[in-house]
Amino acid sequence: MIARAPSAPSGETRPGPVRASAPGRVNLIGEHTDYNDGFVLPVPIPQRTQVELTVSSGDLVRATSADQGAAGSYTLGSERIAKSWLDYVQGVTFVLRAAGHQLGGFDVHFTSQVPMGAGLSSSAALEIALLRALREAFDLPLSDLELAQLGRAAEVDFVGVPIGIMDQMASSLGKPGGALFIDTRTLQTRDVPLPEALELVVIASGVLHAHDGGEYKQRRSECEQAAAALGVPTLRDITLEELEQHRALEPLLLRRARHVVSENARVLETIEALARCDRTRLGQLFAASHASMRDDYEVSVPAIDRLVSLAGERPEIVAARLTGGGFGGSVVMLAERGQGLASARAITAEYSLQTALSPSVLLPLE
């Protein structure tokens, strides 16, 4: 959401501070499918990253973060990996300049309610918030989809994290209160309403996750190996029935491929189940997705499995699964409307006793 100044001719800068923000996201279903040209179904969350940006003279960028408690600076054109939060700022200016957009120096301050390491895409929220502010400040002719593409490029080409485009598209194009279906091959999107009878619950497990670890890159490599062995461009291009006929595929690669192929099908079925508010089917689809991530893709951890199990013991929780890239992070649930917060509190209390971890209820908001 941008505090827009009056329009100015292209190439001019805004004289005063520009304020912009972008949300984090929770993925209802469709995990590790976006970098396989597949389907995803994320939902923007109320927690946002805010940016205040002021254009300055010269080419110096000065960035501060209330949440990181740190400051950093660099000169445009001399972006270098620093292995810190500043890399995401540098990545954005790097890809903008590489795409031919004219920038000048600026001062920028970040604040955020999107928790880091919870699998809710704090990095994409930062990238899109900053891109929105730079678009306004330097009058850049960029669409919301182009912002998402640039945000992903910043993370992949500069920071070096081989993610798909779901996070940035959800942050840039998603609308509050509903899900966004994304075909990550065509980049076509469709708004998907959530049933009024249900509400989202998101619980952070207390186990932090990061996409820059070797496991995430390994999973992507395994998917590419599986697609090559199957003779298809990506795992988007094969059905579950066709996959089951390839008995010669290495067992590990078969498991990785089976998750992606079956998860794509579950996304499409989930959209239909949401339209019918089919609680039974939603529960089955979420459970199958979680089992697939745990067993075939091997990205869950015991603490996450415990959270999902505790959710399954409560009748008011319709569905629950690991959300995000895995190796920690959060669990997303669908609950009967009006019962989500009380149920989440009960689940986290029992989870803390069983694991000695410190979970947090991120949705519903208190």
- The residues annotated as belonging to the active site are 167
CA 93, distance to chain mean position in Å, is 21
Residue 84 contacts by C-beta under 8 Å, 6 or more apart in sequence? 70, 72
The H-or-E segment that residue 230 falls in is helix 214-230
Query: Which 3 state secondary structure label does DSSP give 362?
Result: strand
Q: Is the dihedral of CA 99, 101, 104, 105 positive or negative?
A: negative
CB 321 within 8 Å of CB 196: no
CB atoms within 10 A of CB 208: 14
CB 191 within 8 Å of CB 174: no
Query: Which 3 state secondary structure label does DSSP give 107?
Result: strand
Q: How far is CA 119 from CA 157, 161, 204, 253, in A?
A: 21, 14, 8, 25
CB 181 within 8 Å of CB 49: no
